[in-house]
Every structure is written in structure tokens, then in C-alpha cells.
Amino acid sequence: MTAEAPVLDVRNISKSFGGIKAVDDVSFTVNRGEILGLIGPNGSGKSTLFNCILGQSRPDKGKVEVNGKPVLGMRPCDLSKRLGVARTFQMLQVFPQMTVLDNIILAGQEHSGTMLGRLMGASDAGLTESADRLIAFFRLGHLRDELAGSLSYGQQKLLDAAMAFMAGPQLVLLDEPAGGVNLTMLEHLKDRLSTYNRENGSTFVVIEHNMEFVMSLCTRILVLANGAIIAEGSPEEVRANPIVIEAYLGS
């Protein structure tokens, strides 16, 4: 029996901006159902690595495969439709003048490439149903018809995360989903992500500075410093690794 191919296979990715090596020959794999944490000091290359993996930025070298298929150069909507890949960004991507429901529906249309239809006023009974299921899952029901801009920052971060799940992705890359979020919302977000992972067998890669969040959510952790992986292991191993402590203290 052959072993199952990794969901995500990142090989020798490098990316420089002028003289800065933002990502320096990074390789790693993620297996189905894993929640992989990606940590490292500010400016260590975490977001740039996500951008290289999912096409927002073109790497100088390296390759990326999802379920054995090369993905570099694919558009985000094709990544979503064909390979079931979604992501969130470090900065909020919600539209403040639209309701929670419409933000989620719009995310679904972006994934399926039918945004134009929505903007032209086409009806979307199926999408609304899916959006309502997602709203219920993330427990945003009481905010369904509120403008996103009227929500607290933590609620907007939760909405932002929920939007990535509209297409039922099997691989989700989340860039600081808990950044600036209060403790109650943080526990709620963690609970929803781990429940989704358990119920759907989906795979996550999570960038996060909140150590308590990362250590309790993730099954394995990669540590980046100056664009390169300096450590990898279970939360306990990484927490006790002197190289990791040094990288944070020295930053």
C-alpha cells in the first residue's frame, strides 16, 4: 500500500524583495487532517510564504503541490473550485457596508467565480442556504443582517474566518485569525476551527502570534526566523526548544 500523498507539499520556496530574503529555501509538507501552526517573529516571512504558496506573490524558486497537483500560477478561484483551497489574510477582508450574510454570500461567489451575477442582482437561493448554515456553525446568527462594519473587531475577525469556509474547502491557510481578538472570542474561534477540522477532516495551516492559541489548536508547529525554518515539532517540543526562545528574544 502506498502512503497517502500530503495535502500540501511546499518545496524549496524562496522569495526576495530587493536585498531582503523574505523566504529562504523553505520546504515542508502537511498531511490530511493536520492543523499545522506557523510561528515566528515579526518580519520572519510567514505572510510572504502564504502569498507564494497561493499565488498572491510569485516565488523566485521552488514548487508547491496540493494533492500532488502543481499550483503555482493558478488563480485563487481555480484553487478554490478545482482543489478546495482557501485562505484568510492578515488584514480584515470584510466589506463594512454589507451585511454579515451578504459578505458570506459574496465570498461564496468569489470562490465559484460568479460574483458578477450577484452584483447584477441574480438570485442565489442555494448560496443563501449555504451561507446560513455557515452563519449557524460560527454562531453569528444574531448578527446575520447587521452591517459588518457595526460588529466588534473580534466579531469581524470571526466573520472573516467564516468567509473562507463558504466553498467547503479541504485546505485552509489562515493568517493571524486571532490577531487583536479578545479572550472569549479567541476561545470561540479555536473551538469552531477545531470542530470544523474534526467533523470534516479538513486541513489547516495557521499563522498566529498568540502562543496559547497556537499551542492548544495545532498538532504540529513550524518556526520561521529570517525566512528559514529553524524548528519543527509538537507544541511541547517547540515550546521547550532553546533555538525558538532565542529567535523570539533576539528579535
88 binds ligand ATP (CB under 6 A): no
Among residues 7, 46, 127, 213, which is the contact residue for ligand ATP, using CB under 6 A?
46
Could you tell me the smallest distance in angstroms from the CB atom of residue 233 to ligand ATP? 19
Among residues 37, 40, 59, 154, which is the contact residue for ligand ATP, using CB under 6 A?
40
47 binds Mg ion (CB under 5 A): yes
First-residue to last-residue Cα distance in the chain = 46
90 binds ligand ATP (CB under 6 A): yes
DSSP annotation string for 74-120: --HHHHHHHH-EEE--SS----TTSBHHHHHHHHHHHHHT-HHHHHT
170 binds ligand ATP (CB under 6 A): no
Task: Determine contact, residues 144/135, Cβ cutoff 8 Å.
Answer: yes
226 binds ligand ATP (CB under 6 A): no
Pick from ligand ATP, Mg ion, none: which does 40 bind, CB < 5 to 8 A by kind? ligand ATP
Pick from ligand ATP, Mg ion, none: which does 130 bind, CB < 5 to 8 A by kind? none
Indicate the DSSP class of residue 146: S
Among residues 9, 14, 35, 44, which is the contact residue for ligand ATP, using CB under 6 A?
44
- The β-bridge relationship of strands 171-175 and 85-87 is parallel
Which residue type is seen at 80? S
Stretch that binds Mg ion, among 4-12, 47-55, 183-191, 239-247 (CB under 5 A): 47-55
Using the minimum distance from each CB to ligand ATP, give the nearer residue, 11 or 209: 209
103 binds Mg ion (CB under 5 A): no
Using the minimum distance from each CB to Mg ion, give the nearer residue, 54 or 131: 54
Outline where DSSP puts E strands in the chain. Answer: 8-17, 20-30, 35-39, 61-66, 69-70, 85-87, 171-175, 203-207, 220-225, 228-233
* Grid-cell match 533576539, residue found: 250
Please state, in angstroms and rounded to a whole number, the distance separating the CA atoms of residues 118 and 122: 5
Distance from chain centroid for Cα 57: 16
Among residues 14, 48, 202, 203, which is the contact residue for ligand ATP, using CB under 6 A?
48
Using the minimum distance from each CB to ligand ATP, give the nearer residue, 44 or 210: 44
Please state, in angstroms and rounded to a whole number, the distance separating the CA atoms of residues 98 and 133: 19
Q: List residues binding Mg ion (CB under 5 A).
A: 46-47, 90
Q: List residues binding ligand ATP (CB under 6 A).
A: 17, 20, 22, 40, 42-48, 90
